[in-house]
Amino acid sequence: MTRTVLIVEDNELNLKLLDDLLQAEGYSTVCFRSGEEALPAIRRDPPDLILMDIRLSGLSGLDATRAIKGDLALKGIPVVAVTACAMAEDEQEIRAAGCDGFLAKPYSIDSLLAVLGRFLA
């Protein structure tokens, strides 16, 4: 069974890199550049996992995660924060918003695949 990963990333290069890598690993991907675009799609067709950039323009990744985790139909979807903000207080804020995992940029392919394996095993 192919697993679907929804990627929310506002940087075009980072989005393409994640999309290409995940597809090469056999995942189905759905990509969005903003939380405002992603939320309706998540509600319409829930993915198996969400990779959420935290620093998005408009609706932040933290606010989008709070909306997902506040929805009874969606709260079980793992949300993994992908961010360049890797200080201890940043991780606390990310966890408090409801993110299930944390991936600091720049990340290695191995660490990305390990996170995916942890949540999609």
| pLDDT in the model for residue 112 | 94
* Token output for 56: 């998005």
Sheet-wide strand order for 101-104: 28-32, 4-8, 49-53, 79-83, 101-104
Find the mean pLDDT for residues 79-108: 86
pTM: 0.95
Q: Does the pLDDT value for residue 95 go beyond 80?
A: yes
All structural domains of the chain, each given as residue ranges with its CATH number in brackets, are 4-120 (3.40.50.2300)
Mean pLDDT for all residues in the chain: 93
| 6 phi, psi to nearest 5 deg | -95, 125
Please write the tens of the pLDDT for every residue from 41-78. Answer: 999 999 999 999 998 989 999 999 999 999 999 999 99
| pLDDT in the model for residue 107 | 87
| pLDDT in the model for residue 6 | 98
Q: Does the pLDDT value for residue 88 go beyond 70?
A: no
First to last CA, the chain: 12
